[in-house]
Amino acid sequence: MRPGDTGSRSGQRLFIGDGYAELKRPSVTPSQLAPDAHTHDTVVMNRLFILRHAKAATHPPTASGGDHERPLAARGEAVLPGVARSVAEHLDGRPLDLVLCSTSARTRETVELVAQAEPAVAAAPLKLDAKLYLANAPRLLKSLRKVPADAATVLLCGHNPGLHELALLLLADDASDDGSDDANEHVPPRLRYDLPTAGLVVLDLEGSWTSIGGGRRSRAATLRAFVVPSDM
């Protein structure tokens, strides 16, 4: 969507604010269930797609627009079909249940172009949230904790440094309790350094959304994929 748009040209159901009234799915879907390796109990598994917006123009379209209204650059738009393919690949045939997106022009346009290239994204409810604009990791966690329990697959599109911090925080959440300082040793060095524009992190998460990022071993996160434009 370009600045000033009120809907989604890709046909996504758009809702703004704190409500999730349009999301209606079974309370727990079979794709969310997996056996625990230690207890053999069934646990809920969700998948989170963390997507940084694509490369943006240096300046907004008007002098009064400010950073919030900076649109995507042509080179940013060019990589988004590849991002769409990566999202589809890691959905593993499942629907995408929800898209959370900052209200900035560059994040909205990123989601719009990914949705145009991938029907699973276009079919997902889209929630624009002003609180996600330049949000830090604690603010992002607060938004994710409000995701309905019936959402098994969620795409979050926002900004650095918050998204990068969020990915590292969640991957450290499943660190061992032995006091080791190597909580991030399983994180690819490239991701440890940065989450580039149009970079995509795919995480499998155990437990409810309300427990995400609550502390050591509160919630296990497994890195399924880390994809950057040069890999697409």
The structural domain count of the chain equals 1
Determine, yes or no, domain membership for 198.
Answer: yes
Containing structural domain, residue 206: 51-61+76-91+104-111+121-154+165-172+185-232
Determine, yes or no, domain membership for 229.
Answer: yes
User: Are the CB atoms for 171 and 203 separated by under 8 Å?
Assistant: yes
Burial of 229 (0-12, 13-18, 19+ CB in 10 A): buried
> What CATH number is attached to the domain comprising 204?
3.40.50.1240
For each of the chain's 232 residues, which pLDDT tens digit applies?
A: 443 343 455 555 665 555 554 444 444 454 454 555 444 444 568 999 999 999 999 988 887 789 999 999 999 999 999 999 999 999 999 999 999 999 999 999 999 999 999 999 999 999 999 999 999 999 999 999 999 999 999 999 999 999 999 999 999 854 444 444 455 567 899 999 999 999 999 999 988 999 998 765 445 789 999 999 988 7
Determine, yes or no, domain membership for 67.
Answer: no
Determine, yes or no, domain membership for 83.
Answer: yes
Determine, yes or no, domain membership for 223.
Answer: yes
Placement of tokens 């748009």 in the chain: 5
Determine, yes or no, domain membership for 11.
Answer: no
